[in-house]
Amino acid sequence: MYDINKVREDFPILQREIYGKPLVYLDNGATTQKPRQVVEAMVDEYYNVNANVHRGVHFLSQQATDLHEASRETVRRFIHARSTSEILFTRGTTESINLLAFTFGEAFVRQGDEILVSTMEHHSNIVPWQMMCERKGATLKVIPMTDNGELQMEAYEELLTERTRLVCCTHVSNVLGTINPVADIIRIAHQHGVPVLIDGAQSVPHMPVDVQVLDCDFFAFSGHKIYGPTGVGVLYGKESWLEKLPPYQGGGEMIKTVKFEKTTYNELPYKFEAGTPDYVATHGLAVALDYVTALGMENIFAHEQQLTLYAMQQMQQIEGMRIFGPADHHDAVISFLVGNIHHLDMGTLLDRLGIAVRTGHHCAEPLMHRLGIEGTVRASFALYNTTDEVDALVAGIRRVQKMF
Residue 356's nearest CA partner among 341, 342, 377 is 377
Q: Which helix (H) or strand (E) is 90 found in, with range?
A: strand 87-90
Q: Between residues 205 and 396, which has the closer beta carbon with respect to ligand PMP?
A: 205
Q: Specify the stretch interacting with ligand PMP by CB under 6 A; choose among 88-96, 102-110, 137-145, 292-300.
A: 88-96
Q: Specify the stretch interacting with ligand PMP by CB under 6 A; choose among 103-111, 135-143, 197-205, 343-351.
A: 197-205
Q: Between residues 45 and 121, which has the closer beta carbon with respect to ligand PMP?
A: 121
Measured from the CB of residue 314, what is the shortest distance to ligand PMP in angstroms?
Answer: 24
Q: Per rule CB under 6 A, is residue 118 in the interface with ligand PMP?
A: no
Measured from the CB of residue 116, what is the shortest distance to ligand PMP in angstroms?
Answer: 16
Per DSSP, helices labelled H in 330-386 are 343-352, 365-371
Measured from the CB of residue 243, what is the shortest distance to ligand PMP in angstroms?
Answer: 25
Q: Between residues 202 and 314, which has the closer beta carbon with respect to ligand PMP?
A: 202
Q: How far is CA 237 from CA 334, 341, 356, in A?
A: 30, 44, 35
Between CA 344 and CA 335 the distance in angstroms is: 13
Q: In this structure, are residues 376 and 359 in contact, taking their beta carbons and an 8 Å threshold?
A: yes
Q: Between residues 118 and 314, which has the closer beta carbon with respect to ligand PMP?
A: 118
Output phi, psi for 315, to 5 deg.
Answer: -70, -35
Q: Specify the stretch interacting with ligand PMP by CB under 6 A; choose among 57-65, 90-98, 177-185, 349-357.
A: 90-98
Q: Per rule CB under 6 A, is residue 103 in the interface with ligand PMP?
A: no
Q: Between residues 222 and 314, which has the closer beta carbon with respect to ligand PMP?
A: 222
How deeply is 127 buried, as exposed, middle or buried, from its count of CB atoms within 10 A (0-12, 13-18, 19+)?
middle
| Interacting residues with ligand PMP between 212 and 241 (CB under 6 A) | 222
Tell me which amino acid residue 100 is.
L
Between CA 32 and CA 34 the distance in angstroms is: 7
Strands 114-118 and 139-143: parallel
My answer on whether omega of the bond before 269 falls inside 30° of 0, hence cis, is yes
Number of H helices, E strands in the chain: 14, 17
Measured from the CB of residue 336, what is the shortest distance to ligand PMP in angstroms?
Answer: 17
Between CA 362 and CA 333 the distance in angstroms is: 12
Measured from the CB of residue 230, what is the shortest distance to ligand PMP in angstroms?
Answer: 8
Between CA 241 and CA 83 the distance in angstroms is: 13
| Interacting residues with ligand PMP between 120 and 179 (CB under 6 A) | 122, 124-125, 170, 174
Between CA 114 and CA 166 the distance in angstroms is: 8
Between CA 130 and CA 97 the distance in angstroms is: 12
DSSP for residue 268: T
Q: Between residues 124 and 164, which has the closer beta carbon with respect to ligand PMP?
A: 124
Q: Per rule CB under 6 A, is residue 199 in the interface with ligand PMP?
A: yes
Q: Is 363 a catalytic residue?
A: yes
Q: In this structure, are residues 34 and 229 in contact, taking their beta carbons and an 8 Å threshold?
A: yes
Measured from the CB of residue 330, what is the shortest distance to ligand PMP in angstroms?
Answer: 15
Count, residues near ligand PMP per rule CB under 6 A: 13
Measured from the CB of residue 117, what is the shortest distance to ligand PMP in angstroms?
Answer: 12
Q: Between residues 85 and 173, which has the closer beta carbon with respect to ligand PMP?
A: 173
Q: Per rule CB under 6 A, is residue 93 in the interface with ligand PMP?
A: yes
| Interacting residues with ligand PMP between 44 and 73 (CB under 6 A) | none
By annotation, the residues acting in catalysis are: 363
Q: Which residues bind ligand PMP (CB under 6 A)?
A: 92-94, 122, 124-125, 170, 174, 199, 201-202, 222, 363
